Structure 1
Amino acid sequence: MLFKARSAAVYGIDANIIDVEVDFSGVKMEKEQFATVGLPDAAVRESRDRVRSAIKNSGFDIPPTRITINLAPADLKKEGSGFDLPIAIGILGAYGALQTKDLSDYLLVGELGLDGSLRAVQGMLPIAIAAREKGIHNLLIPASNAREAAVVEGVNVYPVHSLLEVRALLNGTTLGVVQAAPLKVKTSDLLEELQHFPFDFKDVRGQHVAKRALEVAAAGGHNILMIGPPGSGKTMLAKRLPSILAPLSFEEALETTKIHSVAGVLDAEQGLVTHRPFRSPHHTISDAGLIGGGMMPRPGEVSLAHNGLLFLDELPEFPRNVLEVLRQPLEDGMVTIARAAMSLSFPARFMLAAAMNPCPCGYFNDKSRECMCTPPMIQRYVSKVSGPLLDRIDIHIEVPAVQYKELRGGSAAEGSAEIRARVLKARERQKERFAQAGDRTRGSASAASRQVYANAQMGTQQIRMHCELNSDAERLLERAMQQQGLSARAHDRILKVARTIADLEQSQDIVVKHIAEAIQYRTLDRSYWS
């Protein structure tokens, strides 16, 4: 007898619907024969042992026959333990243990324990989205994955705990804690909850220039590099940067949650990423860990930081090849990983914050400590960060050591709430400007046209349209380009930063003072170590 169930497989950050076809011969054999076809990986092939024990320990007696499982379409590789539940249900249906014969409007995903209990699997959010797009209305999934899937409107999510509960629900009966009604989650309430940040800028003494630069970076989504001696507060400042970033929109939250779900780092209790991600990998990370990879490619740190912040502390300590792979995501907002069998793309539009010492000992140009490094040592240290990578960082600032009077001063520093209010006003101004102009990013073919939300995302056409200069500002920019030997990319970065500074002042025009401040944030390009 043939019985069909439906499941899904995740590829990249999207999911494909998979038909699970179960057929048994009906002829009793001395030993059960269990064959799975359709390009299954090791985890899927091993499901026969988990499914057999789960069915037996749930109280069902399946006679030994030849069982064939086909996962269609057969040309797509299947991986993971999420096929355990649909295979088990397919076997029960084939042997007549289910009253219903048509499960075309149900999608089943879940790993089975040997006792028949259900365990969570990764990538449930893209699976729920795929079900909605294919017109499948009911999802039967592990209870620990339920909140994650329930944020998708248009599908009924039934959280279940065991194989027996799934059978009872499909048969229309009640058993234990089976929920007859689907789980509902109000996504608007999740995003509107009071956002609490553990770190606040009011804890930072001094560093007024650095805090101003971080405000500009947050307002325009600009990448920023902080250079200073040990203990000057670079890491402290970076950890407080998320507290002044604009909140996530629902579309951004959904896209970010898909990536975290596939990577298996999503908080099951939360169900939806409501804060902009903050990722801070150690400098021993590999290029695959940073950019993503594997036999079946998985997202790396740059994708986990999508719509959020990636902080690289001690930037020159990262291997050179690891830093160089950042070029594509910084430019395109997308990572493409090619393998012999497939090529997958992961979104990676993030804000980069980096910190570094000016030299190996850390005290070059420091007024209170003497630098013990020779010029060749400094040159070798600095050259670990390539010029093309520095060009892709909009803002370079010096973070000097804090003086004693500032450290012990009694005056209260400005808090994150006040800074964030100005950032939100600037972001709202940018959002209205780009929405009226219908601006979209122009990237590679893999990075399809997308709405521009911040000044840092502007392309060449948007820069020409929104960053016009008067004659005085034009002359100042020309002089800076000639004297500092800045590249064409640095020219565009200056204009973007100047546009953000003008937006913070609610100014329609970019004037000389805006250009002057933006140029100030590029002086560390070459002159700092000369």
Structure 2
Amino acid sequence: MVAIVSTAAYLGLEARRVEVQVQLASGVPAFVVVGLADKAVGESRERVRAAIAAIGLSLPPKRITVNLSPADLPKEGSHYDLPIALGLLAAMGVVDAETLSDYLIVGELSLDGRIAGSPGVLLAAMLASGEGRALICPAVQGAEAAWAGTSVVAAPDLLSLLNHLKGEQMLSAPQPGGAEDGWSGTDLQQVKGQETAKRALEIAAAGNHNLLMVGPPGAGKSLLASCLPGILPPLDAAEALEVSMVQSVAGTLTGGRMTRVRPFRHPHHSASMAALTGGGLRVKPGEISMAHLGVLFLDELPEFQRAVLDSLRQPLETGEVSVARANAHVTFPARVQLIAAMNPCRCGHLGDPALACARAPRCAADYQAKVSGPLLDRIDLAIEMAAVSAADLVLPPPAEGSAEVAARVAAARGVQRERYAADGIRTNAEADGAVLERAAALDAPARALLAQAAEAMRLSARGFHRVLRVSRTIADLAGTDTIGRGQVAEALSYRRRAPTN
């Protein structure tokens, strides 16, 4: 007899349906799992055997073959335990196989029969909803699966699930987890001085632009970066679902709680390429994907390995990262706002006669050369920050905080949302080609200044378009439809120049 149940395989943020075919046949007793399964799936045999024994049943003395179809699709993870166990129980006649055909099943089994959580349940729920099926999943992830809008059976253990399927003890349907609103982190009122940097941060937030802050230790670079989530607009429902899907695959969506606060990721400079862009033995999203639709903050930028930094160049341009392996090609979303901070040189005190090292200014060129030109070309705004003086530190907190700046940012984002409604993009930073040409309404003096500056500053085509996008954002903050000479001049003032020897 062959029993068939459905489960899912995850490729990036895509879930594909997998048939679990279980056959009981005469012959030498054995338990074989085939279908391009990894080690975690192969080990499910022992977990399934122990879980079935825990509910008072034993496997029949037959040859048990489990085929995961399609056989050429890689199968990774422990969420195949529960569908294999239910398929085996259906083949044994313990549970009705026809009843299971209405469900898509995921979950890891413990040796005592409990059903443990596993990454990717939200993706499986979305797949089940699209196919008109219900979902069977662990009880601890029922709130997460309920966001997909499909019928969910969230079982704490194998025995209670069997009783539910037989109609003897019905499990209550889980409710979607709560949604977190509001940023409770650093407020801009905590930043004293650095008015130019605050202005650049507001422009970066309004247009979703990449920002580089260069300044001595203690100038407030990290403090300013930590303020950014507080002035960004909250995620809308569709964006929150995108972010939650990434978190589900990574296994960090706890309690099924979604959040409307944009992600803020700040990896240490010792991070490897796989940690930053994704990968590993079992391909997982990296920091740039975990920051999708949010902020990726790279402090001490030159201290990262150069190859690791250069691996960000393509994702920053395309908004997605592709991880290629011999047996799989996985794509994760990576539409992030890059905020970077660095000292001007290794000692950090370039330009200060009392503190700078003897190798200045040569040390600045060597230190900053660790960051490649093509990566710097993808940064829209770069600002030089001076050390905060004692006079600034004793001043009272500024009257304007994150709430006031966030209101202006939200208004500018609203203008951009209306402007690009038909183009499927959200912000000025994503505008390109004909869309950017249509949006960039330059008056004659602004056009002349931009052309002159592009020649004098030797801007690349990418750099030219990034200046244009920043100019459009500055005009949006000012509430003007036309980009004037002043907006172009301010955007050009933020353009990064190479250090001189």
Tell me the TM-score normalised to structure 1 length. Answer: 0.91
Q: Which of 166, 178, 183 is the matching residue for 2:161?
A: 166
Aligned to 2:183: 196
Q: CA RMSD in A?
A: 1.7
Is it true that 1:384 corresponds to 2:370 in the alignment? yes
Aligned to 1:363, what secondary structure does the other structure show?
coil
Q: Which of 313, 318, 321 is the matching residue for 1:332?
A: 318
Alignment CA distance shift 1:368-1:456 (3 Å): farther
Q: Which of 466, 470, 482 is the matching residue for 2:455?
A: 482
Letter in 1 for 2:250: A
Is it true that 1:418 corresponds to 2:407 in the alignment? no
Q: Is the 8 A contact 1:151 1:271 kept in 2?
A: no
Aligned to 2:143: 147
Give 1:453 deviation, angstroms.
Answer: 0.5
Alignment CA distance shift 1:259-1:16 (3 Å): same
Aligned to 1:269, what secondary structure does the other structure show?
helix
- The 5-angstrom pairing of residues 509-520 of structure 1 reads 509-520=482-493
- The 5-angstrom pairing of residues 315-330 of structure 1 reads 315-330=301-316
Q: Output the CA distance in 1 between the equivalents of 2:318 and 2:46.
A: 45
- The 5-angstrom pairing of residues 131-530 of structure 1 reads 131-136=128-133, 138-153=134-149, 155-174=150-169, 179=171, 181-185=172-176, 190=179, 194-266=181-253, 268-366=254-352, 369-435=355-421, 438-439=422-423, 451-522=424-495, 524-526=496-498, 529=500
Give 1:269 deviation, angstroms.
Answer: 1.6
Q: Which of 74, 79, 82 is the matching residue for 1:82?
A: 79
Q: Output the CA distance in 2 between the equivalents of 1:418 and 1:56.
A: 62
Aligned to 1:122, what secondary structure does the other structure show?
coil
Give 1:71 deviation, angstroms.
Answer: 1.1
Is it true that 1:24 corresponds to 2:24 in the alignment? yes
Q: Which of 48, 53, 56 is the matching residue for 1:51?
A: 48
Give 1:45 deviation, angstroms.
Answer: 1.1
Aligned to 2:7, what secondary structure does the other structure show?
strand
Aligned to 1:98: 95
Aligned to 2:67, what secondary structure does the other structure show?
strand
Q: Output the CA distance in 2 between the equivalents of 1:85 and 1:428.
A: 46
Q: Is the 8 A contact 1:219 1:427 kept in 2?
A: yes
Aligned to 2:100, what secondary structure does the other structure show?
coil
Aligned to 1:36: 33
Q: Is the 8 A contact 1:143 1:160 kept in 2?
A: yes
Alignment CA distance shift 1:425-1:322 (3 Å): same
Q: Is the 8 A contact 1:201 1:413 kept in 2?
A: no
What runs of 5+ residues in structure 1 fail to find an aligned partner? 440-450
Q: Output the CA distance in 2 between the equivalents of 1:207 and 1:375.
A: 24
Alignment CA distance shift 1:419-1:74 (3 Å): same
Give 1:159 deviation, angstroms.
Answer: 1.3
Q: Is the 8 A contact 2:119 2:251 kept in 1?
A: yes
User: Which deviations, in whole Å up to 9, do the C-alpha atoms of 1:392-441 show, x marking residues without a partner?
Assistant: 00000011111111110125342111100000000000001111xx22xx
Letter in 2 for 1:159: A
Aligned to 1:353, what secondary structure does the other structure show?
strand
Give 1:370 deviation, angstroms.
Answer: 3.6
Q: Is the 8 A contact 2:142 2:175 kept in 1?
A: no
Q: Output the CA distance in 2 between the equivalents of 1:452 and 1:367.
A: 48
Letter in 1 for 2:18: I
Alignment CA distance shift 1:290-1:23 (3 Å): same
Give 1:47 deviation, angstroms.
Answer: 0.8
Q: Output the CA distance in 1 between the equivalents of 2:396 and 2:91.
A: 77
Q: Output the CA distance in 1 between the equivalents of 2:357 and 2:473.
A: 36
Q: Output the CA distance in 2 between the equivalents of 1:194 and 1:37.
A: 45
Percentage of identical aligned residues: 47
Letter in 2 for 1:7: T
User: Which deviations, in whole Å up to 9, do the C-alpha atoms of 1:320-345 show, x marking residues without a partner?
Assistant: 11111111011111111222222221
What runs of 5+ residues in structure 2 fail to find an aligned partner? none
Letter in 1 for 2:243: T
Aligned to 2:420, what secondary structure does the other structure show?
helix
Aligned to 1:102, what secondary structure does the other structure show?
helix
Aligned to 1:445: none
Q: Is the 8 A contact 1:360 1:373 kept in 2?
A: no
Alignment CA distance shift 1:24-1:330 (3 Å): same
Q: Output the CA distance in 2 between the equivalents of 1:2 and 1:250.
A: 42
Give 1:529 deviation, angstroms.
Answer: 4.1
Give 1:368 deviation, angstroms.
Answer: 6.8
Q: Output the CA distance in 2 between the equivalents of 1:82 and 1:302.
A: 25
Aligned to 1:108: 105
Q: Output the CA distance in 1 between the equivalents of 2:87 and 2:167.
A: 17
Give 1:297 deviation, angstroms.
Answer: 2.6
User: Which deviations, in whole Å up to 9, do the C-alpha atoms of 1:451-490 show, x marking residues without a partner?
Assistant: 1110000102122111122221122223322333322222
Letter in 1 for 2:461: A
Moved more, 324-333 or 66-75: 66-75
Give 1:145 deviation, angstroms.
Answer: 1.4
Aligned to 1:166, what secondary structure does the other structure show?
helix
Q: Is the 8 A contact 2:295 2:338 kept in 1?
A: yes
Letter in 1 for 2:494: Y
Q: Output the CA distance in 2 between the equivalents of 1:311 and 1:343.
A: 27
Aligned to 2:37, what secondary structure does the other structure show?
coil
Aligned to 1:151, what secondary structure does the other structure show?
helix
Letter in 2 for 1:314: E
